Amino acid sequence: MKKLIFCYLLGLVSYHSFAETVVTNDGELGSLKDYYYSCWDFYDISLTDESDYVTDGKYSFITKGSSDGSRGDIKSPWIKFEKGKIYMDLTPYSEVKEAIVYAFYIPFDEDNKKTGESTDYEYLGYHEVNYGSINKDKTKKADFKISKDMEGAIGKVHLVFMVYGEDALMAIDNIEIPGEYYSDPSSNCFPKGEKKDTDGDGVIDGEDDYPEDKYKAYNNYLTPEGPGTLMFEDLWPATGDYDFNDLVLDYMINRITDADGKVVEVQIDLLPRAAGAGYSNGFGIEFTGISPGQIYKVEGSKIKSNTIHKFMSNGLEEGNEYATVIAFDDVDNVLTHPGGGSVGINTDPKFPMQSVEKMRITLYLNDPIVTTRSREEPVMLSDLTMDSFNPFLIVNQKRGVEVHLPGKRPTAHVDKSLFGTKQDNSNGDDNSFYKGKDNGLPWGLNVTESVPYMMNKESITTGYNMFYKWAATGGEAYPDWYKDQKGYREDKVLLNAK
């Protein structure tokens, strides 16, 4: 349907005359919207069918004046210019004290990825329409010569109308520009063949990660260099064996934005790699600061039929202040136990390593219509950063026992009576949660690249030699403790299921 409309419009904006091609605009489509479709642009210009103000045919463009002067603009589509003159009919009405039209040439600039318009305008001149005239209501013919630089070039004509006089009106009609119509409405009105925008979202295909989906434009990865690794201890608030392999998984989070920078979809790719615990642990992610109402739907979670969790209609966990996804409620949903007396999965080299499989959870955010109706603000990229990423372990089917990264707050379901007991030093201050009494050591780790993990019953300090100094200084010393550098690792106690 759109293609049919476009063909119809092309028939109205160009014609051949005396071996010249001319792009015209006479207002006869009767709707500015239809002219926008064919890539004309307007500012403070309207169309009228009132016979007292129509110069020719059924419609004319109108611009208003004021005592201090008011401005109206008409900008042409892209045109491949030919030799000749730009013409238009201008009719000032009785209240006009003075009216001037200025003409500019805008060259095409391929480096301007947004509009294609160069900032290096060429001034073509001006025309005084009514100054000093006593023939107030007579139509005038204004013209501007196509410059040598314009001949054969691709560009636009920008007309600026200044009208002086309280309640003044001036009609504009029969605009003629010598040249070939060169805009492509299907490619965001870029010149034909210059930039392709298949989905019409305003982002050209070469820069659009989703060139055939008008609702999505850009990938934005939380860890742009590749997947990160999460590692948890599940005996919180006790210290336990400190091998940080009770749950090990890699993650990649892609915050997909539209052409306007609004987040429309969040893709969470998880690769559960190991589970050294004898517990049936689950895993969730809270997106701190994001309201549950800003999420339309969640897909991809792996949940048992007899789950301990309750869910909202959109798939988020019920009862939380912020949007909380339960990725899986039991590690057995995502990893296969080797049997044979093994305590864990992929943590004991005496047992066969089990295959691991990536899972994807997708959060669909509200579209603009739903967002407006539910009075929820759209989510911007700045709302979904590492600070708002709050992953946590759910210990052995006990919803109130959550293990978060150090300094991260729990969800509303946590058993608050556990804080400050055994080795936990949480005291209610935001930065105190999930830090141990022994130099603030954590129960959860987030490494922003994929790294090996510990064998069962091997403390992380025996595999990563700089870990303790990093943790004990609150991250000041050895922030690169996990790197594969000389003296940093002991490979004989590390495993790397992938």
Reduced 3-state DSSP string for the chain: CHHHHHHHHHHHHEEEECCEEEEEECCCCCCHHHHHHCCCEEECCEEECCHHHCCCCCCEEEEECECCCEEEEEECCCEEECCCEEEEEEEECCCCCEEEEEEEEEEECCCCCCCCECCCCEEEEEEECCCCCCCCCCCEEEEEECCCCCCCCEEEEEEEEEEECCCCEEEEEEEEEEEEECEEHHHCCEECCCCCCCCCCCCCHHHCCCCCCCCCCECCECCCCCCEEEEECCCCCCCCCCCCCCEEEEEEEEEEECCCCEEEEEEEEEEEEEECCCCCCEEEEEECCCCHHHEEEEECCECCCCCCCCECCCCCECCCCCEEEEEECCHHHCCCCCCCCCCCECCCCCCCCCCCCCEEEEEEECCHHHHHHHCCCCCEHHHCCHHHEEEEEECCCCCCCEEECCCCCCCCCCCHHHCCCCCECCCCCHHHCCEECCCCCECEEEECCCCCEECCCCCHHHHECCHHHHHHCCCCCCCCCCCCCCCCECHHHEECCC
pLDDT at residue 367, rounded to an integer? 57
76: closest CA among 169, 144, 162, 127? 144
Q: How far from the centroid of its chain's Cα atoms is residue 123's Cα?
A: 38
Centre a 10 Å sphere on the Cβ of residue 353 and count the other Cβ atoms it contains: 17
Do residues 180 and 79 touch, judged by C-beta distance below 8 A? yes
Residue 422, token pair as written in the block = 């055994």
pLDDT at residue 4, rounded to an integer? 32
pLDDT at residue 20, rounded to an integer? 65
pLDDT at residue 199, rounded to an integer? 87
C-alpha separations of 361 from 271, 313, 368 in Å: 11, 16, 22
Residues of the chain with pLDDT under 50: 1-19, 132-135, 368-373
φ, ψ of residue 156 in degrees (nearest 5): -125, 155
φ, ψ of residue 385 in degrees (nearest 5): -115, -175
